[in-house]
Every structure is written in C-alpha cells, then in structure tokens.
Amino acid sequence: MCPIRWPAPRLPPPCWGAPPPPRARRPPPPLGLHTVGDLLHHYPRRYEERGQLTHLADLPMDEHVTVVAQVADARLHTFASSRAPRGKGQRLEVTITDGSGRLQLVFFGAGVHKPHKELLPGTRAMFAGKVSVFNRRLQLAHPAYELLRGDAEETVETWAGALIPIYPATAKLESWKIGKALQTVLPSAQEAADPLPGPLREGRGLVTLPEALLKIHRPHTKADIEEARARLKWDEAFVLQVALARRRHADAQLPAVPRRPRTDGILAAFDDRLPFTLTEGQRKVSEEIFADLATDHPMHRLLQGEVGSGKTMVALRAMLAVVDAGGQAAMLAPTEVLAQQHHRSVTEMMGDLAQGGMLGGADDATKVVLLTGSMGAAARRQALLDLATGEAGIVIGTHALIEDKVQFHDLGLVVVDEQHRFGVEQRDALRGKGKQPPHLLVMTATPIPRTVAMTVFGDLETSVLDQLPAGRSPIASHVVPAADKPHFLARAWERVREEVEKGHQAYVVCPRIGDEEDGAKAKKKSPEDEAEKRPPLAVLDTAEQLARGPLAGLRVDVLHGRMPPDDKDAVMRRFAAGEVDVLVATTVIEVGVNVPNATAMVIMDADRFGVSQLHQLRGRVGRGSAPGLCLLVTEMPEASPARQRLNAVASTLDGFELSRIDLEQRREGDVLGQAQSGTRSSLRMLAVIDDEEVIAEAREEAARIVASDPDLERLPALRTALDALLDEEREQYLEKG
C-alpha cells in the first residue's frame, strides 16, 4: 500500500453574515504541496481545449483552433517602441500554409527566440491559439505549437484533441510546472489506498480512486472528467461526514443527567401565563429539545430560524425545563447589548417567576441573573454567589461567563446565541463547568442552507423554525439609488418622519462609528473603500447631519459598540421606552434587539453589508402589529453586482433563499471559514450548494457505517484518510464542536 498522505480538508469555524470579501491585493496563499498525495489531490481548476483540427480556409474568428500546417516563410523584424526606443524591439512573423489557405503567426519580445530557431521554412507542426485580425489579415498571436516528427498521424490525433489541465498555481510555480510534476508522480496513483468501502463504491457506480486520479489529471474525454469529479466529490463528502458521524457517536456515549420538566413546575406555570399561543413550529421544536434533554447523554442541537421566528421563546422554555429538573441553564450572548436585551426580555416574559428568593416572587420562581464584564464589583459578587449556591437557575451573559471564577452549582444546559461569533474554546470552557457534560443548544438567526448545516454543523442535530408568530407584520423593502436618483433619498427621510408622526420609531444603520480611531481602521482594512474614494458613512457624522437637516426636530440618538456599557444600556432603554424617535446605530443592533414600536429602518451604504447581515438588520422592524419598512440606500450603479445583491434582498423575505444567494456569491472556502486562516479552501471538488444530494447521501452512508463499526476496524483505508483529516488542530475543532 502506497504511503500517499490524504490531503486533509480544513474545518475552521464558519463565518456567516459578513459581506462577500473584497478583492484583496494580497498574494495567493501557498499551495501546501508537500507530498505525492498532496500533488495527486491538487486538481485542475479547468481544462483548455486545443480545439478541433481546422483548415486554414475555414478559420472562425475569436475562437481557439488547432491547425496542422507547414511553415512557408519566417521573418524577424526589429522596431522601436516605448519599451525599446532604440529600435531593439523584435517581432517574428511566420507564415504557414496547409494547401487550403495561409495564416500568419506573430511572436514578440523574448518569445521570438525559440520559434525563430525551430520554425524554419518547410517545417511541419501543429499550432494552437485564438484567431484574431490585424491589418485585415487573420493571425495567431503567440500560439502554442508542437513540431511533428515520426508518426505524424498519431501525434496529430492525440495532441489536437487533448484536454489541457490548468492547475491552481502561484507566480513561482506555474500551472505547466505542476503538470510536469504530476506527469512524474501519476504512476503512483495506482497504489493509492481507496477510502470508499467497495460495496458503497460499486453500488453507486463510482470509479476506483486510482482511476479517478488518472482521469482528473489526464482525461481523454469530457466524460472522463465527469466520472473523476463524481468520485472525488464523494471522497470529500464521505470522509468529512464519517468524521462528524463518529463525533455524534462519541457524544452519544458520554454520560449526562437527564432533565425532565415537572408537570406542576416553573415551565407549566410559565406556559399557563403566556398571552399568546405558541406556533406549531415552536411546539414541534420544543418537543424535539425536551426529548433530547430527557436522555442520559448530552443533547447537541442546532436551532436555526428566521428573524423573529421566536427562537428566544423556545430557548427559554428549554432553560425552564432544566430548572424544573433541579439544574441550571446558561445563555451565552456575543455582545453586552445582546446579553442585556436577552436578560430584559426573559425577566419581562417570566414576570414574578424570575424573582426567586425575592419579595413578591412566585412559588416556583427562580433567579435570573446577568453577568457581563462591565458589571460593578458588588453586583458581580452577588451574581457569582447566586450561581455557586444554585439560587440562580438561569444566567445570561457574555464571555465573562467563561472566566475561572464562575462556578455553577449544577450546570445542566448551555444555550449559545449566534454561534458563529464564538470560538470553540469559549464554548468548550463554558461546557466544561458542568459536573457532567451539560446539554448544548446552539442558536443562529442566520438561516443556513441544509447542505451547509450538514457540512459545518454536521455533529449537531438540526431544528428549524421557519414560521413567524401570529401578529407579525410584513416588511416592505426597497433599494434607494442615492446617486442615480437623489430625490429618492429625500423621500426616504420623509418616510421616516411620517412613521414618527404616526407614533412609531426608526433605525438608521451605518457601516462605521466615525471617530478618529475607527476612521483609521476603516482605511487600513478596506481596499474597496480606497478604490471608491469615499469612506463608508459613519454613525456620528450621519446622526449630526440628520438632526440638523432632514430629521430636524426629531429626537435622534446614537448607539455603537465603543460606547461604555451603561451608556449603551441607557440608550436602548430610552429607545424601548419611546423616548428616542430615531436611533442611528452600527450593526450592534443586528441581532436580539426587540422594539415592537420600531417600524422603519434606513441602511446607509447598504452595499457594504452582506446579504445575510442585511436580512438580520431588516428583522429589527415589523416586530409589532404595524407593517415594517426597510430602505437600502446605495450609490452603486444599477448594473453592479452590489446592486443585484440589494435587489435580491428587497425581493424576498425568505432568509433561506437569501442564504443560498449569499453562498452562491462567495467563494466556497470563505463560507466555511477559510478566509480567516488565509489558506485555500479544502473543498476542492465539493460545492455545498450544488452537491446537496451527494452530501445528504454521504451523511446517511457515514451514519450507517459508523453505527456498525465505530472504530472503522474493518476499513483501514478509510481510517487512514480520517487520520489525515483529524490532525491535532482539527481533532480539537471536532472535540469542542
């Protein structure tokens, strides 16, 4: 068995909600080709066709052709140009003929030397290139050519019909050098250990791995390429899904305390007081979670849902079920604004059920505490004491929850909100605070396509909330082309005033804050900004201009991430109380902020945000009985990709459809988090949107194989492939999942 190292797909945390990455001018990352296996799995990104053999009399314009002809004439000319002012520029003109017509070939500069020696009159060769016109004559500029010697007929047939692989390359390692290296090692492909079990491969009509490697690098036909791709996609999907299935299997062996709610406990009391009926989706997802909580191994569930679908309500009921069972629940939020917002909304929803041990608290009440890094010493000490004694059944906090000082009496459930904003180490540190592994519920308000959920969150069971609660109003979204139609922007501010006159409130969102430090960062970070010669609009500047201009007389306030926490909380409280008409903010309001009276949102420089982020922001309005309005302001021209992205957001409220659009507009690796590490995406063949069927089938096959043979003792080649996937860093990623 050949010791060909399997190239390991990378598994960093996913990165959602950010705009498509700018076309940075940094050099491409190194190719990471260290072994024969790396080289064999460095697949062509496309194939050049030399074209069909063409008669010189029938040459089509602007197409790649291959012709077989004889050199009739070759002349070297010198000329003066800006690069060679002393008349030392060189141009080689070669005239070829095949008996049906004549064609001129042109070579310039240093490229003239080799053909000048080889393309002598009477020489027969094949020439491949793109047909163009110069001085009313057809020509091929710098064509590739192959001199015909020996068995000319065979050479013509094989050379002209060949599919030429073009590899991902760097400036120092060109595609043709990679191709030559592959030619040397390709015989080794015959010894490559095949990770796919024989029955699986045969049942799906897939070629063997050695055959797939030969066909991907040296295809004779396009059918060869398709056969190879179909097989190699399966390898990528299957090996990754086996890793995730083994993670799920290992989790199922861990011990956990079953947490079953009491029929007469705090959850029942909470449900009895609800002033509305849960949606069918909320009830169904809650049942899935309660079933998981009742088992003696840890729940690992992803709860994803549309903006405003009621995920917080589902999470709260799960936390109350754990409190019923004598445990504690912790909710981890990415920002202090969101943690405070969650704490406010949870205590409001629970009423006296959140006043455990306090005067006026209900019989079944527990304490709900907040823990953030900016809390005063006395409040912090009290919160830590309540957690350690078990008096607080629920704690909501930021990364401050992870600190060593924080001790729980009996941590039974960890709820992670906006999962993509936390590192795996942070989540793992919180989960490690339980006496036994606690149950885990991961929430995201960013809809994730099913295949991405299976690929990135493949070790989690998935629940989806796609039904909005009753009473939610529709949100109308429109693109405001500020550069093309300035009167549209003026009308946008009029609409904001109209909403305020009706007693409602509005958000204005800007990409940056606007103080000096922020400005410096923006210049450093965004090559696109420099190209567009205007920095993104800022909260502080915009708020001042609006208060003096189109929104004069309205109560305008600002909110951004660098404000002191108490100031942020005070602004949000004033806005929630209706004491602020227009809140000019950064994306700090993107998730979790719930002010039902806010009906309008104007997003400035909307093209600076990603599709999913715009959808998140838009979800802050229309949360009450009045209809919502979202205006996407941009200066991008109508035909630009940025405008097409905004038009897509304006055209649908379906977050799952938008998530597909978002994914299609990015490189695969960025979606899976590769941009952060600076490496190329390891999904060389697999496309998570296009190959949904392959991923789903690979997941089923992986689950079946791991269930019957968890240690893969009967599949040593698969185990070898898995060992390469799970190097130390990736093993930690899956462990901390």
Q: What percent of the chain has pLDDT over 90?
A: 36
Q: What are phi and psi of 124, to 5 degrees?
A: -105, 135
Which pLDDT band holds residue 262 (cuts at 50, 70, 90)? confident
Who's near 277: CB < 8 A, 6+ residues apart? 470
Q: Which amino acid is at 448?
A: I
Query: Would you state the pLDDT for residue 197?
Result: 93
The C-alpha atoms of residue 398 and residue 371 are separated, in whole angstroms, by 7
Query: What's the mean pLDDT in 7-21?
Result: 39
DSSP bridge partners of 329:
394, 413
Who's near 35: CB < 8 A, 6+ residues apart? 4, 5
Query: What's the mean pLDDT in 211-227?
Result: 93
Are 438 and 254 in contact, with CB atoms under 8 Å apart? no
Assign 184 to helix, strand or coil.
helix
Q: Which of 223-227, 342-346, 427-431 has the highest mean pLDDT?
A: 223-227
Lowest mean pLDDT among 155-169, 220-234, 356-370, 688-702: 155-169
For the sheet with 328-332, list strands across it: 367-371, 392-397, 328-332, 411-417, 439-444, 300-305, 461-465
The C-alpha atoms of residue 151 and residue 153 are separated, in whole angstroms, by 6
Q: What is the dihedral of CA 467, 472, 473, 476, to 10 degrees?
A: -50
Positive or negative torsion for Cα 60, 64, 66, 72: positive
Residue for token digits 């909330």?
465
Q: Which amino acid is at 443?
A: M
Q: Average pLDDT of the chain?
A: 81
pLDDT over 80 at 497, yes or no: yes
Lowest mean pLDDT among 29-38, 282-291, 710-719: 29-38
Query: Would you state the pLDDT for residue 619?
Result: 85
pLDDT in tens, 66-84: 787 889 999 998 876 666 5
Assign 380 to helix, strand or coil.
helix
Query: What's the mean pLDDT in 661-684?
Result: 49
pLDDT over 80 at 437, yes or no: yes
Q: How many CA atoms lie within 13 A of 476 on its CB side?
A: 9
Which pLDDT band holds residue 670 (cuts at 50, 70, 90)? very low
Query: Would you state the pLDDT for residue 82?
Result: 62
Task: Name the more confident of 616 and 212.
Answer: 212
pLDDT over 60 at 569, yes or no: yes
The C-alpha atoms of residue 718 and residue 715 are separated, in whole angstroms, by 5
Residue for token digits 């199922």?
252
Pairing mode, strands 89-97 and 102-108:
antiparallel
Task: Name the more confident of 735 and 534.
Answer: 534
- DSSP class of 420: G
Query: Would you state the pLDDT for residue 381?
Result: 92
Task: Name the more confident of 420 and 176.
Answer: 176
pLDDT over 50 at 362, yes or no: yes
Task: Name the more confident of 82 and 510.
Answer: 510
Query: What's the mean pLDDT in 114-136?
Result: 87
Cα of 480 vs its chain's centroid, Å: 27
Give 3-state DSSP helix, strand, coil % of the chain, rounded to 5. 45, 20, 40
pLDDT in tens, 639-669: 888 898 899 899 988 777 787 777 666 544 4
Query: What's the mean pLDDT in 495-502?
Result: 96
The C-alpha atoms of residue 476 and residue 362 are separated, in whole angstroms, by 42
Query: What's the mean pLDDT in 679-705?
Result: 77
pTM of the complete model: 0.67
pLDDT over 60 at 4, yes or no: no
Pairing mode, strands 598-603 and 505-509:
parallel
Which pLDDT band holds residue 427 (cuts at 50, 70, 90)? low
Which pLDDT band holds residue 705 (cuts at 50, 70, 90)? very high
pLDDT over 90 at 384, yes or no: yes
Task: Name the more confident of 292 and 130.
Answer: 292
DSSP bridge partners of 629:
476, 600
Query: What's the mean pLDDT in 340-357?
Result: 88
Tokens at residue 139, please? 């020509």
The C-alpha atoms of residue 366 and residue 375 are separated, in whole angstroms, by 21
pLDDT over 80 at 485, yes or no: yes
Q: Which of 128, 163, 165 is nearest to 146 (CA)?
A: 128
Lowest mean pLDDT among 5-19, 166-180, 212-226, 330-344: 5-19
